[in-house]
Amino acid sequence: MAHNDAIAVLFGERNKLVAEKEAYLFNINQQISGIETSIEVLSGKKVWEIQHEKDLAERQQQHLQNILGNKEGNWRPCMHDQCTSCHGTGIKHDGSMCVHCISCPCPKCTSSY
């Protein structure tokens, strides 16, 4: 068959590209690992912890902006919004659930919200 030679050449090229891809990915993974190790050494925290804290801080800031933007004449923040641990997000900086989420009687913090 005349096509067998062409197929063999194509498979050879494919295998060459697959090997190049695997070498490239290995190199990139090594670089990422080195960067993550440097971050962990400098910060004392795992990379995922830093990203989690950043995301949480952004959610807390957004919540505070939402609260301040929705004030009415007789508005006052609930216990949850005034919490210095979670700033109204329901999640403390350490990732645990905030007790104010359970104890606050306002409509925002109850299941009817």
Instruction: Give the integer Cα–Cα distance in Å for 92 and 84.
Output: 9
User: Which one has a higher pLDDT value, 21 or 97?
Assistant: 21
Among candidate residues 61, 110, 49, the one with its CA nearest the CA of residue 101: 110
- What digits encode the pLDDT tens for the residues 82-109? 777 777 777 777 777 777 656 666 655 5
- pLDDT at residue 113 tops 50: no
The string of pLDDT tens digits covering residues 44-76 is 888 877 887 888 878 878 877 776 666 665 666
* pLDDT of 12 strictly over 70: yes
| C-alpha to C-alpha distance for 110 and 102, rounded to whole angstroms | 8
